[in-house]
A and B are shown apart, each in its own frame.
Chain A
C-alpha cells in the first residue's frame, strides 16, 4: 500500500531517447533498407556512367590542337553520349521528394490504419515522446541519405557543367544536387508524415504528399528560385552558357520599350518579334538581321540573369527555406497529434 500511496508523484523519469531511437529504427528498418537499395542501384549507375563520362571528357580536354577534326570528333562524341540527360534527369529531380514521402507517409498512417497506435501510444513513453523520436530518426535518416546522394549527383554532373552543356542553376538540375537535395527530401518526408496523420491511410497519404511536394517544387523552380537574389543585367548579346537567363527585353535611351514599338520599327524591314513576350527576334524571310537592325537604330537588348557563381548561395538559400518549412510542418504534425483523440 505504501507504493500505491506514492503513486500521484508526477516525477516519472522519461524513457531515454536512445531506447526510443532503437524502436524507431526497428520499426522502419525495412523502409530504410528499401531506400538505400534504390539509391544504391541508381548510385551505381551514376558512378559507372560518371566514370565513362569523365574518360570521354578528359579525352576531349587532352586533345590538341583544339580545332582539329579529331578534337571536334572527340567533343561530338562526348556531347552526343552524355549531353542529354533524358529519363535519368527526371528521376534524379523527383527522387528526393519521392524517397522523403515514402519514408514519411507510413510513420503515422500505418499505425492509424492497422490500429497499432493503440499499442504504441499507451506505452510508458507516451505518444509525444514516441512520435518525436520517430520523426527525428526518420528526418535525420532521409536527410543524411539524400545529402550523400546530392553530392554524388553533383559529382556526376561536373563534366557537363564544366563543358557548359548543363547549367547548374537549371530548374531540372538544381534541386537534385548539393544541399538542395536533402532539403527537398525533408520536405517530402514532412508532407508525408502530415498527410499520414490527416488521411490515416498509407496510400492516399503517399499520393497526396507526392502531389503536394511536386506542386511546391514546381513553384520553387518556376517562380521563387530566380529571385533569391536580384538578377544581374547585361547588354551583351552572348551570355555565358553556364548562367541562367531570367528575362530579356529591349530598351532605348535606358528606358524599356514595348514589343509593339519594336514590331513597328521592324516592319520597315519586313520582320517582327518572335512570339508575344519573348524579346528575341526571328528572321522571317528578310535579308536584314533584325537584331543588328535594331541595334543600329539605338535599341539595346537587356538580359537579366543569375550567374553560375551564385550556385552555392542559392543552394543554401533553398536548403534554408525548404528545411525551415519542413520543420514547421513536422511541428504542426506533432501539435495535431497531441490534440488527436482516438475514436
Chain B
C-alpha cells in the first residue's frame, strides 16, 4: 500500500509553479526524508498531502487510495506544521482537550504520560514553553491521535541540537511502537541521514530523486578514469568533473544489477554526495525565477 501516491501533481501560485510534474509512490512504513533547498516546494507538497492546499493539476491520494483532504485522510494523518502553530494563550491541558474534541481518536493517557516524561506541566501556557517543549507538545498532540501517517514540516529547524535529538528520538520511538509512516521535510540532509530510509529530493518545484536510500545508493556509482578508456556509455551522467587527465563521473545505472563499465575505477557514493550532485544538476526547463542552489 502506498502511503502517498501522486501522479503529475502540480500546484501553481499566480503564474509560477511551486510544484510541478510530481509523480511519487511512497510505500507505507518508511521514514521519508523530503529534502531540498529553501523554496524548493517541500512545504507545498506537504500542504497538498495534508489537504490544506488543493492541487492545480494531477492526482494525489494518501493512506492507500484516499483522496487528500477527505474526512478519512484527515482522520488518519497528523500534521505538525512549520514553527509549531499552537494557541499560545491556551494552557497545555486546554490544547490537549481541544485536540481531543477535534478528533475521533485521542489517546489522552498517552499524551499525559509523554508530557509528564518530558516534564511539561499541564498548567503552563503553550506560548510560555521553550522552543523544544513547544515542538514536543505539537508532536504529542499529533501522536496521541494515533495517525497512520505523521507529516512534519521542518520540525527541527528552530531547535537546538539537544532538543533536535530528543525530538527525533520521540519520532523514532513512535514509529517503532505504532508502525506509523513518517514524512519529514528539511533543508539539511545531514540530520536525517541516519534515521531516514527513504529519500525524496526536490528542487525548483520538481522531484529530482526518490526511492529507498539503499536502492538509490545501489543505483549510483562514481567512475574515475581516463576519458579515452573509461566508457560510460549507457549510463545517465549526473555530474562530471575533469581534473587533468582524470575524469570523475557520477552515473546512474539502468538497474541495480547492471554491469559496471569497463576501463574505469568504480566506487559507491555516499547519500550526501549523491544529493548534492542532483541538486547541482542544471534542470532542463528554465525555472530561473525560483531560488537556485548555491554552488
Q: Which residues of A contact B (CB under 8 A)?
A: 4-5, 7-10, 12-15, 19-20, 22-23, 26-27, 30, 114-126, 130, 339, 341-343
Nearest 4 Cβ contacts at the A-B interface? A118-B81, A123-B102, A124-B103, A342-B52
Contact of A10 with B72 at beta-carbon distance under 8 Å, contacts A20-B101, A123-B103 already known: yes
Q: Name 26 interchain pairs, CB-CB below 8 A, sorted by A.
A: A4-B1, A7-B63, A7-B148, A8-B63, A19-B101, A22-B97, A27-B87, A117-B52, A118-B79, A119-B81, A119-B86, A120-B102, A123-B99, A123-B102, A123-B103, A123-B145, A124-B71, A124-B75, A124-B102, A124-B104, A124-B105, A124-B145, A126-B71, A130-B102, A341-B54, A343-B47
Q: How far is the CA of A19 from the CA of B103 in the complex (A)?
A: 9
Chain B interface residue bracket vs A: 35 or more
Contact residues of A: prevailing secondary structure:
loop
Residue of chain B at shortest CB distance from A16: B101
For B86, list chain A residues within 8 Å (CB): 116, 119
For B1, list chain A residues within 8 Å (CB): 4-5, 7
Are B90 and A26 within 8 A (Cβ)?
A: yes
Are A342 and B101 within 8 A (Cβ)?
A: no
Q: How far is the CA of A343 from the CA of B70 in the complex (A)?
A: 19
Are A10 and B103 within 8 A (Cβ)?
A: no
Q: How far is the CA of A125 from the CA of B99 in the complex (A)?
A: 10
| Residue of A7, A116, A117 with most partner-chain B CB within 10 A | A7
For B76, list chain A residues within 8 Å (CB): 7
Residue of chain A at shortest CB distance from B102: A123
Q: How far is the CA of A343 from the CA of B104 in the complex (A)?
A: 27
- The verdict on B157 contacting chain A, using a C-beta distance below 8 Å, is no
- The verdict on B64 contacting chain A, using a C-beta distance below 8 Å, is yes
Q: How far is the CA of A10 from the CA of B66 in the complex (A)?
A: 8
For A5, list chain B residues within 8 Å (CB): 1, 64
Instruction: Give min CB distance, A330 to chain B, whole Å.
Output: 21
Instruction: Give min CB distance, A113 to chain B, whole Å.
Output: 11
**Residues of chain B in range 44-91 having any CB-CB distance to chain A below 8 Å:** 47, 50-54, 63-66, 70-72, 74-79, 81-83, 85-90
Are B53 and A114 within 8 A (Cβ)?
A: no
Residue of chain A at shortest CB distance from B101: A19
- The verdict on B98 contacting chain A, using a C-beta distance below 8 Å, is yes
Instruction: Give min CB distance, A112 to chain B, whole Å.
Output: 11
Instruction: Give min CB distance, A221 to chain B, whole Å.
Output: 38
Contact of A342 with B53 at beta-carbon distance under 8 Å, contacts A13-B104, A116-B85 already known: yes
For A10, list chain B residues within 8 Å (CB): 66, 70-72
Q: How far is the CA of A118 from the CA of B141 in the complex (A)?
A: 13
Q: How far is the CA of A19 from the CA of B97 in the complex (A)?
A: 10
Q: How far is the CA of A256 from the CA of B191 in the complex (A)?
A: 89
| Residue of B28, B72, B75, B101 with most partner-chain A CB within 10 A | B101
